[in-house]
Amino acid sequence: MSARKIRSALISVYHKDGLDEIVQELHRQGVQIYSTGGTQKFIAQLDIPVTAVEDITSYPSILDGRVKTLHPAVFGGILARREPDHLDQLKEYKLPEIDLVIVDLYPFEETVATTNEESAIIEKIDIGGISLIRAAAKNYKDVVVVPSRAEYALFLEILKEKEGTLDLTDRREMARRAFKVSSNYDIAIFNYFNEGTTDIAFKYSIHRSDILRYGENPHQSGVFFGDFDAVFDKLNGKDISYNNLVDIDAAVQIMRELRIGDPAFAILKHTNTCGLAVRSTLKEAWDAALECDNVSAFGGIFICNTSVDLATAEAINELFYEVLIAPDFDEDALALLKTKKKRILLKLKDYAIGSRSFRSLLNGVVEQDTDMRQETIADLDTVTEVAPTPEQVSDLLFASIAVKHLKSNAIALVKNKQLIGMGCGQPSRVDALKQAINKAKAFGFDLDGAVMASDAFFPFPDCVEIADQQGIKAVIQPGGSIKDKDSIAYCDGHGMAMVMTGHRHFKH
């Protein structure tokens, strides 16, 4: 018989919000309710009859509540198949059948997020609750399981609609959800204990997911596993696509490095920064960023580090873009920007960059530390006879941020905290430099006095020679080539300044 009437229920939950409606509906349908501890008190306060689990186990809650439901009288009633042999054993040992199990686990992940006190964290590892969930899910052919408060609303809807008689499809779906809850819970606990060990294991549990407008191309479907709403308030526009999301991530990563200080604006296209500038006002920063490459900016991703005012919004609104990201929007600016209904407007709540990053490769996954390093003045080792001026140092540090967020091989040319040329994704560093120079000239920039950043060392002096011929007089690079001395010698022979950081920023 696939459809089974719920006649008895065991309820033991941490979060009780939303439970009252379920309990009242169960009572209306004449269901016998068993419960424990705080949940039992909650139900009793609703003037609904409830039987303490101790009355069927003959044992009180012991060990500071660590052991309440772990007893054959409970698990026998859950795990018994509704077949003669098992039912006869229940009768022999006077154990009740339990048709419904409602559990909401101790908040382990929330506790880890809010405290470092190990004793408090350990006490939030649920034992009885997780066992109840697994037992009920295993016996889904006869038992219904509600494994978390996230399923309260769904279960209540089914309970009312079907008057407590759920079919096999309903019960199996709830079991599927139960094992999702239990597996996520176990992974969170494992990761807590595994942190700082040498045991390498790829185990992640992400509870939220959003269906994307499409994948990398329209014929591909896509899903984002993560909590987009924790990072952004979406204020306007169409649904997010895979490519939008990849570009948004790249935009947040670069602006994270410029979030403090004068107004900054970045324009990205296909994850690469094609416009970047810092100025005294946001409108000036926008104008300078757009000057870098006003062609590639069409259909791009825009991001800034301060509230968008009306003057900036009016300028932005003249250009087609996919996404605009800002920590805030002035009221009149937002009203104007929202007149373009499909344009995506995101209010950035948190520069949420995970300390670990991963991507799929071949038949597996690679995981690594996220490149969180940002060079400071203290990291700059002047290796040439000529030292950079204070103005050049400022531009060199700005250029090191710009080049870090371009695809390798990458070169960034900067002048007065404005990206005036960029070359990226090239098979050679010389090609990247030539691309950067050509772009700068195409948009009318004078390279005399500019600085150059490279995302990796120069194996030959050719790049500094080409840069010198264009009037570039200061260079920042990680160093580390066995032929570093050749590039240094060229700089010394031509009055150029070079600093090395000792850290490479490849981006593939």
Catalytic residue numbers, as ranges: 138, 270
Both tokens assigned to 437: 């120079």
Q: Contact at 8 Å (CB) between 292 and 275?
A: yes
Strand segments (E) across 286-390: 300-304, 321-326, 344-348, 356-361, 364-369, 381-382
Nearest-angstrom CA–CA distance, 244 and 247: 5
Q: Hunting for tokens 């952004």 — which residue is that?
A: 232
Quick one: angle between helices 152-161 and 19-28, nearest 10? 20
**DSSP assignments along 317-337, one per residue:** TTS-EEEEEES-B-HHHHHHH
Nearest-angstrom CA–CA distance, 236 and 319: 17
DSSP type of residue 343: S
For 46, 205, 211, 320, the CA distances from 225, given in Å and listed in that order, are 38, 9, 9, 29
Nearest-angstrom CA–CA distance, 97 and 79: 9
> How many residues appear in the chain?
508
Task: Answer whether the bond into residue 409 is a cis peptide, omega within 30°.
Answer: yes
**DSSP assignments along 251-284, one per residue:** HHHHHHTTSSSS-EEEEEETTEEEEEEE-SSHHH
Q: Hunting for tokens 């090395």 — which residue is that?
A: 500
How much of the chain is helix, strand and coil, in % rounded to 5? 40, 20, 40
